[in-house]
């Protein structure tokens, strides 16, 4: 198994999928503004994620007024932004983490996972858009399907965002 300090590690989480947030803070902090610059996240989504990341012990009702939104809106934006950020990270895996072999291993595990495997549509969508980098490949609801697929594959990399 290929590992590098601060880089993803493959985990076989089929038996017990958990939200194991071990993606290094510096990676999270650096990636969010980049994702916003490249329009993978809106400016508000980036602001919400950065504020939440910088103040992890502060409640959402306390954070939301800093951006002039309700805590319900803050929570909704945060929950919708996470899958978008996972897609961005996995679409740019080689740039951020190196070896595409790790991504392929995580994809293979996600497909064969007995608990919550990739569906056929998720598998083909992930394979075409992420692994083959075919930006023209689309099916109905491909954005939603890709977000779900990236979430499942990210579990096997040992991080969730």
Taking alpha carbons only, the member of 40, 156, 59, 148 closest to residue 107 is 156
pLDDT of residue 135: 82
DSSP at 136: T
* Cβ neighbours of residue 90 closer than 8 Å, sequence gap 6 or more: 103, 130, 150, 153, 154
Q: What does the block give as tokens for 147?
A: 């977000």
pLDDT of residue 16: 43
Tens place of pLDDT for every residue, the chain, 161 residues? 333 445 555 445 444 444 444 567 777 888 999 999 999 999 999 999 999 999 989 999 999 999 999 999 999 999 999 999 999 999 988 887 777 888 999 999 999 988 889 999 999 999 999 999 998 888 899 999 999 999 999 888 876 65
pLDDT of residue 161: 59
DSSP 72-132: HHHHHHHHHHHHHHHHHHHHTHHHHH--HHHHHHHHHHHHH-SSSPPPHHHHHHHIIIIIS
- Domain range annotation of the chain: 25-156
Rounded Cα distance between 63 and 113, Å, is 37
* Cβ neighbours of residue 100 closer than 8 Å, sequence gap 6 or more: 93, 94, 131
């Amino acid at each position: 198994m290929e590992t590098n300090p601060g880089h993803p590690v493959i985990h076989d989480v089929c038996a017990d999928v958990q939200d194991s947030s071990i993606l290094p803070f510096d990676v999270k902090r650096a990636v969010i503004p980049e994702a916003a610059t490249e329009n993978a996240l809106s400016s508000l989504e980036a602001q919400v994620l950065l504020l939440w990341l910088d103040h992890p012990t502060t409640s959402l009702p306390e954070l939301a007024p800093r951006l002039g939104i309700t805590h319900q809106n803050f929570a909704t934006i945060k929950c919708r932004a996470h899958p978008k950020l996972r897609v961005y990270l996995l679409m740019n895996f080689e740039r951020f983490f190196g070896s595409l072999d790790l991504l392929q291993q995580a994809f293979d595990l996600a497909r064969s996972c007995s608990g919550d495997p990739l569906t056929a549509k998720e598998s083909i969508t992930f394979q075409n858009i992420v692994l083959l980098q075919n930006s023209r490949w689309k099916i109905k609801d491909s954005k939603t399907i890709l977000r779900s697929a990236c979430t499942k594959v990210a579990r096997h990399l040992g991080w969730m965002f």
